Amino acid sequence: MNFFLRSKKNKKPPIFDLLLSGGFLKKSQIKEIEWLMENTELEVEDILFRFIGRDKVLLAKAMLFDNKYQTIDILEKIDLIDEGTVNLLTRDQMLKNKIICINRNEEQLVVAMVDPADESAFKFVEDLTGKTIKEQYITLMDDIRQLLKELDDRKIREKIRQEKEENDNGEEVYGKPPGVGVMSIEEFTLGGDELTGEFVGMRPIVDAIIKQGLLRGASDIHIEPTRKEMLIRYRIDGVLITDDKIDKILEQHGKNKKLHDTIVNIIKNRSGESGKTMRLDETGKAQDGRIYIPEVDLDLRVSVVPTILGESVVIRIHYREIGQFTLNRLGFEPRVFKKFQKVIEQPYGIIFIAGPTGSGKTTTIYSILQILNNPSKKTMTIEDPVEYSIPGANQAQINPAKDFGFDAALRSFLRHDPDIIMVGEIRDVTTAKMAMEAALTGHIVLSSVHANNAVSTVMRLKDLGVDTRLITATCIATLGQRLVRRVCQACKRPYMFSTKLYNAFDTYNIKYNPRKLVKGAGCKECNQTGYHGRIGVFEMLPMTYDVKELILRDGTEEELFELARKSGMQSLLEDALTKVAHSITTEEEVWRVTLLEGAY
């Protein structure tokens, strides 16, 4: 008898009574489990893993069989399992019959079974192998799946190791593409067809504008019309600034409306989607396009918007290689980083990265993928648009014109047996539910949400219409983040900040040395801004039992924030203040990005 099967008369399988009487489950959890049973196709075992540990499920199963059979952790004993014995059955046969052969001699077998009393599975193995089963252990279905996956992964890793040894150059088979180097930038040119008419001789100006953005590490280039002349600005470290070198070049050519229109038309002539350029004669509506430079693996996303003074252009710069992303360099405090590492090591579940536009969510997600993605894993992403190239991953871009949105992509992805799924952004309840259901069925899912912080992410999902039981069953953690500018190391000086900052240090019990509080004076290295580069500030909300209970009780955002703080969560404001104390950023940056975060 399978004690995990649902009963028609009683929704709760027999194991539930034992788990309740043994104190493994609380009554409040039963309703949530029943909801998952009714609204998902998950096995009861898989649902229970969301509430109690594997060891407790195994113990409960042994008790149901009056301890007649011993339990075994086949993942822990994997090195003692004979792979040749495992392969006596095909993968399909093992999964269908929920049994795995783990050892043998000439006439007998040792097996691990989800239901050790399943006589049909017992007989199937004996008839197929011609051996008698000497001993059977209790195991878990998820452990069988994980063991088979690990054995397959080992074969792949061994094959890659052998290929690497055979490679004459000693290069890794599964390597990263080269990034955009300084020489590549110096030799950069927009390329394309030869220009004629008024455009002749003007392309070097456009090349210089883009090249300067690459050299200065800009994320965007803004080409804007004004009443008397054109304006070019670069977004560097999140702030728009002009560039003296480019201004001088523009002044040599008039820096007027005619020059502006010519530069815009050159960019439009080279931009477009699906091989089509933008319409040069269309100046009254917005147009979007892209310029891909394969020589340097550079993607320029172009947006043209009509204004009352002329067309405004924004060029977003994307380096398509992923090698630049490293999680431990994003700015996590050691204590938070250690906790977050444990989160991303979970075998399944969904992780939400939250923050407004420009807060670094994409960088964080790609940094996580840099760790998780490897030759033994199948990674699939659905993005709008695909921003960076991930070696070995299957990346898809949504196409509304073809009815290929996030939800349609997710539906297709699950038929491709992925291990890791990345959904660029959760925008609606359909996508949210599908992403969470994917997490329920044994996948790691990463996604971003437009929310103010880690706590408000839960409220955002509820506002979209996601059931709280689905949130608590699937979500491992939410991570809220912002970006603050780093103090320029070339011109940093000790600085006395306002009383408000010192009061905040005391309120949040943050230790600091007044002599180590610094600010940039402004120099050539930082273009007189006092800042050079950016770093993340983070808050992480792990889905603990208490947090889940409060969510299920429809607790307010303020209550959830207070509970998280009592449980050890460091807020965005605290993280930013810590970075001031460590001479990384300034008070100005703290209030710029986190002013509202401490208002609970």
For domain 14-144, give the CATH number.
Answer: 3.30.300.160
Number of H helices, E strands in the chain: 23, 18
Read off the amino acid at residue 449: V
Rg (CA), the chain: 29
Nearest residue to 469 (alpha-carbon basis) of 444, 437, 426, 493:
437
Q: Residue 244 contacts by C-beta under 8 Å, 6 or more apart in sequence? A: none
Helix (H, G, I), strand (E, B) or coil at 454: helix
Q: Residue 335 contacts by C-beta under 8 Å, 6 or more apart in sequence? A: 570
Gap between the Cα atoms of 340 and 335, Å rounded: 9
Helix ranges (H only) for 395-544 are 406-413, 429-440, 454-464, 468-474, 499-507
Tens digits of per-residue pLDDT, 2-25?
444 444 444 566 677 777 777 777
User: Cβ atoms within 10 A of the Cβ of 10, count?
Assistant: 10
Please answer whether residues 421 and 413 qualify as being in contact, where contact means their C-beta atoms are separated by less than 8 angstroms.
Answer: yes
Give me the residue spans of the domains in the chain: 14-144, 182-319, 327-483+534-566
Buried b (16+ CB within 10 A) or exposed e, 17-49: ebbeeeebbeeebbebbbbbbeebebbbbbbbb
Please answer whether residues 515 and 494 qualify as being in contact, where contact means their C-beta atoms are separated by less than 8 angstroms.
Answer: yes
Q: Break the chain down into helix, strand, coil percent, rounded to 5.
A: 40, 20, 35
Structure tokens at 23: 């104190």
| pLDDT at residue 568 in the model | 87
Q: Residue 119 contacts by C-beta under 8 Å, 6 or more apart in sequence? A: none
Domain 327-483+534-566 architecture: 3-Layer(aba) Sandwich (3.40)
Helix ranges (H only) for 66-221 are 83-86, 91-97, 119-129, 141-166, 182-186, 203-215
Read off the amino acid at residue 551: I
Query: What is the total residue count of the chain?
Result: 600
**Long-range contact set of residues 505-508: C-beta below 8 Å, sequence gap at least 24:** 505/577, 505/581, 508/573, 508/574, 508/577
Please answer whether residues 440 and 475 qualify as being in contact, where contact means their C-beta atoms are separated by less than 8 angstroms.
Answer: no
| pLDDT at residue 190 in the model | 67
Please answer whether residues 277 and 193 qualify as being in contact, where contact means their C-beta atoms are separated by less than 8 angstroms.
Answer: no
Please answer whether residues 44 and 37 qualify as being in contact, where contact means their C-beta atoms are separated by less than 8 angstroms.
Answer: yes
Helix ranges (H only) for 271-360 are 334-344
Structure tokens at 429: 């309840």
Please answer whether residues 573 and 503 qualify as being in contact, where contact means their C-beta atoms are separated by less than 8 angstroms.
Answer: no
Please answer whether residues 476 and 346 qualify as being in contact, where contact means their C-beta atoms are separated by less than 8 angstroms.
Answer: yes
| 182-319 CATH choice from 3.30.450.90, 3.30.70.3290, 1.10.1760.20, 3.40.50.360 | 3.30.450.90
User: Cβ atoms within 10 A of the Cβ of 153, count?
Assistant: 15
Please answer whether residues 552 and 570 qualify as being in contact, where contact means their C-beta atoms are separated by less than 8 angstroms.
Answer: no
Where does residue 488 fall: left (phi above 0), alpha (psi -120 to 50 degrees), or beta otherwise? beta
Please answer whether residues 36 and 16 qualify as being in contact, where contact means their C-beta atoms are separated by less than 8 angstroms.
Answer: no
| pLDDT at residue 303 in the model | 92
Structure tokens at 10: 């009683």
| pLDDT at residue 320 in the model | 60
Q: Label residue 177 exposed, middle or buried (CB < 10 Å: 0-12, 13-18, 19+).
A: exposed
Helix ranges (H only) for 427-569 are 429-440, 454-464, 468-474, 499-507, 545-552, 557-566
Structure tokens at 572: 């965005």
Read off the amino acid at residue 451: A
Read off the amino acid at residue 552: L
Nearest residue to 48 (alpha-carbon basis) of 74, 12, 72, 75:
12
Buried b (16+ CB within 10 A) or exposed e, 380-404: bbbbbebbbbbeebebbebeeeeee
Gap between the Cα atoms of 214 and 425, Å rounded: 27
Residues of the chain with pLDDT under 50: 1-10, 167-184, 274, 596-600
Q: How far is CA 378 from CA 24, 369, 416, 476, in A?
A: 35, 11, 9, 20
What are the two backbone dihedrals, phi and then psi, of residue 372, each rounded to the nearest 5 degrees? Answer: -75, -35
Read off the amino acid at residue 115: D
Q: Residue 17 contacts by C-beta under 8 Å, 6 or more apart in sequence? A: none
| pLDDT at residue 170 in the model | 37
